[in-house]
């Protein structure tokens, strides 16, 4: 018995042909319940995709800033995380986001870049684009880098 074909809107080949940016069909899965709900998919540590779904649309009919903030925070975090040692942990200090445009459907992609890292702080920048390449969000963020606590403390 053959597998049914995916609906056209979910077909990665059609997305690639019809858009400037093609999302990964199924990137690595969720890290926790938040990323599972939002629907984040990693292409690599610096690139995270999300399909805009009705659950992510706010009462104004636009993509919720909560969803894009989560996207930026997790993408920045994973970008910095791959630059840490097993003895280090990280935590968000601050993220400043500029909402330029919005999306109401389709895929959006966040790309993050590490600007500077020293022993205690990482500084990153991110952008979110829609699948046609329109810039939706710019962001800068700072993260604390610190040692792991001994077990039991």
The residue among 101, 133, 109 whose CA lies nearest residue 46 is: 109
pLDDT per position in the chain (153 positions), as tens? 433 333 334 433 333 333 344 444 455 666 788 888 999 999 999 999 999 999 999 999 999 999 999 999 999 999 999 999 999 999 999 999 999 999 999 999 999 999 999 999 999 999 999 999 999 999 999 999 999 877 766
Looking at the domain 35-147, which fold is it? Thiol Ester Dehydrase; Chain A (3.10.129)
Residue burial 23-51, b: 16+ Cβ < 10 Å; e: rest: bbeeeeeeeeeebeebbbbbeebbbbbbb
């Amino acid at each position: 018995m053959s597998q049914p074909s995916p609906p056209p809107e979910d077909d990665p080949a059609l997305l690639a042909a019809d858009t400037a940016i093609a999302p990964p069909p199924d990137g690595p899965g969720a890290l926790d319940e938040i990323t599972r709900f939002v629907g984040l998919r990693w292409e690599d540590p610096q690139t995270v995709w999300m399909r805009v779904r009705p659950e992510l649309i706010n009462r104004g009919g636009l993509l919720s800033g909560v969803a894009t903030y989560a996207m930026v925070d997790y993408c920045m975090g994973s970008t910095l995380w791959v630059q840490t040692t097993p003895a280090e942990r990280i935590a968000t200090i601050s993220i400043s986001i500029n909402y330029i445009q919005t999306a109401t459907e389709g895929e959006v992609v966040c790309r993050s870049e590490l600007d500077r890292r020293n022993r205690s702080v990482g500084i990153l920048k991110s952008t979110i684009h829609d699948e046609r390449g329109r810039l939706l969000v710019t962001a800068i963020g700072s993260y604390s880098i610190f040692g792991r606590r001994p077990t039991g403390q």
